[in-house]
A and B are shown apart, each in its own frame.
Chain A
Amino acid sequence: MKLFEYMGYELIEKIKNKDISVQELLEACFQRIEETEPLLHSFVNLSKEKALEKAESQDRDLKQGKKIGALYGLPLANKDLICVKDFPTTCSSKILKNYRPPYNAFVIKRLIQDEGAIHIGNTNMDEFAMGSSTENSCYGPTYNPWDRLRVPGGSSGGSAASIASGQAILALGSDTGGSIRCPASFCGTVGLKPTYGRVSRYGLVAFANSLDQIGTITKCVYDSALMLEIIAGKDPLDSTSTDNKVENYTEELKKPLDKKVIGVPEEFFGEGVDKEVKSIVKKAINRVEGLGANIINISIPHLEYTVATYYLLCMSEASSNLARYDGLRYGKISDNLSGDVYDVFNRTRVENFGSEVRRRIFLGTYALSAGYYDLFYIKALKVRTLIKNDFVEAFKKCDAIVCPTMPSTAFKIGELINNPLQMYLADILTCSVNLAGIPAISIPCGFDSKNLPVGFQIIGDYFDEKGILNIGYNLEQELGIYRKIAPVRKGGN
């Protein structure tokens, strides 16, 4: 077995026991990157030199018997919208090309500075996290490691592809309407979106700030639990982060599922969901039942309104969040400075935002405008409350909800890019979770007839990451497919 094929928690043990050096592990990952990156394009910027330097100094510290962090020496791929001090953090947008933040995001400080993970680079994404395919990137698309003709999902497509292919051991993503779970599902990795407020957003470049949440993409549930233990908790710099107790997620994983009540919402298995996906997920639900859980039917009646509600809110928020990119203080400014300040602002934004970002700014601006605000924004907030209540009601009856993560397996590159509405509908099974602010995890539960991974989504009650990790871990062990590394073949599948 090659080093990049191991799980994160296994590698930590090897490093601790001095079976391997940090440098060996880093070299293995960079070797894998060298082989596969031309085929995948997971990364937008690599930090090889600095990472190898850190590996060397970590090996030295280890020899000297210094105390080591919980993620000591583990190669971490970071989504290109989480700020890393002095490293280009560009949101895969021309407008932030070469922008280097002067500070570290909370999660970067925790994982890297405090616990010893090694930042190996930033991963590709849909520009400003707007998309479900990683095609909307100023750097060009990322390719699905299982089939290069297909998208890796998005917006955290680079992070998921890097984990699925063994380029990195741990990855960070962000999830606004499914941006962690969708690529996790398409690439056959584990993707965890925690409760809104569970992880500080300080240093996460905002797309839609009432929905955005940082989360993890890993090969297995244990590694996600390990990362969550570190990044969860109150941060004084994020008022919306909460001081709910951070639990020992890794310890709780292995508990049996006896007497757990698991709800299956019929609406999540509706017409738009691919038959093969449905059947693979249903089989996985049977396995969960076999593990001792009690399966019941539940209902999320307002599911059909979630996509409309979600897009109204996220576009409205985005139109304001992205207003700051005018080229005046940082990022790119138009070469043509003629006219007044508004001419320059407009030109800068038109030249440097991609078309999907512009579409969303337009629609969001429209929805917040005088006369439309009540009709669109306020109404969407009301529906959001109804959706939230659906989940609150559901969790009175069950401990967790299970369903497919995505209505299909990975689609082809270019297949939906000119059909934004169809692309938006791909979020139907994920975005209600963000509207409610609850946690969810996607784990691989099988492969379809095209040998593409199928994602199994487990949705939990507020701050019950412990519960969904526990179910995910049990199912993952039961299925036993999590060690598969994507082959990354030239050409298509």
Chain B
Amino acid sequence: MSHQDNDIIIGLEVHIQLTNLKTKLFCSCSNDYRGAEPNSYVCPICIGLPGTLPVINKRAIEFATRLAIALNCKINESMYFFRKNYFYPDMSKNFQISQYNKAGGKAFADGGKITIKLNSHKKDIILNRIHLEEDPARLVHKGSIATSPYTLVDYNRSGVTLIEIVTEPVISSPEEAREFLKQLKSIVQYLEISSLDLEGSVRVDANISIKGYERSEVKNINSFKEVERALRHEIVRQKNLLKRGKDLIQETRHWDEKRRITISLRTKEFEADYRYFPEQDLVPIEIDNIFIQKVKNELPEMPNERSLRLRRDYNLSEFDSDNLVLDKDIADFYEEGVNSDALFGPNEYKQYCNWLMNDVLRVLNEQNKTIKDTKLHPHQIVDVIRYINEGKITTKIAKNLVEDMIDGFSISEILEMKGKKRISDENFIRKLSNEVIQENSQVVDDCRDNPKAIEALIGRVMQKTKGQADPHITRTKILELLKKKRIID
């Protein structure tokens, strides 16, 4: 049995911590618990002591409103919270205060969409709803949960605000899921509601099925990067079972990040009954149009708007501008850079984009850093472009300087340090060029009808000088020699 991609049905439930909030969802404990002494960011409310009551963080409502507007959801005018009842040591009250769109309840907002682009094909990923809930405490184990002799509970995370984004089951491939999450991450970053690079700020549950068969729900995917991997694995697992003539059952599975496999947790008949019912310690939340309009007016420029503007202002291609705006910090960096040199025009805009998106990002990825983690200043790339365009360094040399630039050194400092000043001795370059022409008769022959072959000859000279020969002089000398030999006119 073979399955095309359009046979695969994926729905995602993405939980995002609103890390940019100052305090937790229902008490005034600090939200910024990372790195803190365990159980030091707690109060009677978030550890659920008898007699305590939750009070809603109004800023959380505002953040959720921002997201709902940005995702084109319909915000419900009036809603209340629900209790999701289940016993687990990470739950200080043995219920979680959440929102629920059944049993008379409403989500924070319904519907909405994110448009993704994959292989230059556009698709709307339709959302079911978004809602707010509190994060449980963090369970800490020695090694793996299965072999740890103990479980420690750290309530610092207990009561931190989560927003859950639930898609319709309309995602058809792991790649689409990846693109969806990329866009979502970007939107969240622009809205300044969360920093998704923080450890533990994202958790994804994925429902996956092959058309006509039961679905499985994969829980505990703890980063966007892992989602694609977990989905690929789960699809292969399901297809393999079908190939072997086995049936698929509805079950909940766990993504084991270390072993990169999914493991069955429980089947449908053992699903918990959460006994959702209204949380009456909180009064209903009313969100009127005046508030929505106010939040709307204060929204920053969103990535899709920015991409359009970058195309217009800097003459960039759709591909370049879409890539550039994905990470707000990168896009900010770009605009600061290209605007700092009044002489920059379309060529330099494109050049700057290439440098940033190819060379700088490659090194950042290698070092697993974001642009903000580095000392790189937008002006350094302006310098690189100037140096290249003025012939002070070759592109090849410049590419080798990126790592030092990221450490905050200016180009002149780096060149000084490395002693890699250009070789501009015309006689020396002429001699080398002559050698190269003699050694590469085939390439020289090619130059008769292919002007680009000259680049290869220049490259050979560069090789001999470890990239230090002045590229302009080298080109001039080679052209002179080839003319002399009547290879070219």
Contact = CB atoms under 8 A, between A and B. Distances in A.
B52 A368 contact: no
A365 B94 CA distance: 13
B275 A365 contact: yes
Interface in A377-424: 377-378
B48 A324 contact: yes
Given A101-B49, A102-B44, A236 B55 contact: yes
Interface string B247-289: 0000000000000000000000000010111001111000000
Contacts of A23: none
Interface stretch (B84-92, B319-327, B339-347, B453-461): B84-92
B95 interface: yes
A167 B44 CA distance: 32
A377 B277 contact: yes
Interface stretch (A38-46, A53-61, A178-186, A205-213): A205-213
A84 to B, nearest CB: 10
A83 B51 contact: yes
Contacts of B277: 316, 320, 368, 373, 377
A370 B93 CA distance: 21
Given A323-B87, A345-B87, A368-B85, A204 B51 contact: yes
Contacts of B273: 369-370
Contacts of B54: 239
Nearest to B55: A239
Most buried by B among A205, A239, A240, A342: A239
B146 to A, nearest CB: 13
A257 B52 CA distance: 40
Interface string B162-201: 0000000000000000000000000000000000000000
Interface string A237-263: 111100000000000000000000000
Contacts of A105: 51
A99 B50 CA distance: 10
Given A201-B53, A239-B54, A323 B89 contact: no
B281 A326 contact: no
Interface string A89-131: 1010000100101110100000000000000000000000000
A405 to B, nearest CB: 26
B87 A101 contact: no
Contacts of B283: 239-240
B479 interface: no
B44 A103 contact: yes
Nearest to B44: A103
Given A96-B50, A205-B51, A341 B89 contact: yes
B87 A342 contact: yes
B92 A329 contact: yes
B89 A328 contact: yes
Nearest to B50: A205
A373 B83 CA distance: 14
Contact of A239 (B48, B50, B53): B53
B401 interface: no
A152 interface: no
A342 B54 CA distance: 26
A319 B276 CA distance: 12
A237 B87 contact: no
Contacts of B51: 81-83, 89, 101, 105, 201-206
A204 B275 CA distance: 24
B403 to A, nearest CB: 50
Nearest to B86: A323
A342 B51 CA distance: 24
A320 B89 CA distance: 15
Contacts of A205: 50-51
A462 interface: no
A125 to B, nearest CB: 14
A9 interface: no
Contacts of B44: 101-103
A328 B136 CA distance: 15
Nearest to A96: B50
Contacts of B242: none
B397 interface: no
A330 interface: yes
Interface of A: 81-83, 89, 91, 96, 99, 101-103, 105, 201-206, 209-210, 236-240, 316-317, 319-320, 323-324, 326, 328-330, 341-342, 345, 365, 368-370, 373-374, 377-378
5 contacts: A101-B44, A103-B44, A239-B53, A320-B83, A323-B87
Sorted nearest first, the 6 A-B pairs with minimum C-beta distance are A323-B94, A368-B275, A210-B280, A205-B50, A203-B51, A324-B93
Given A83-B50, A204-B51, A329-B48, 10 more contacts: A101-B44, A205-B50, A205-B51, A239-B53, A240-B53, A320-B95, A330-B49, A365-B275, A373-B275, A378-B104
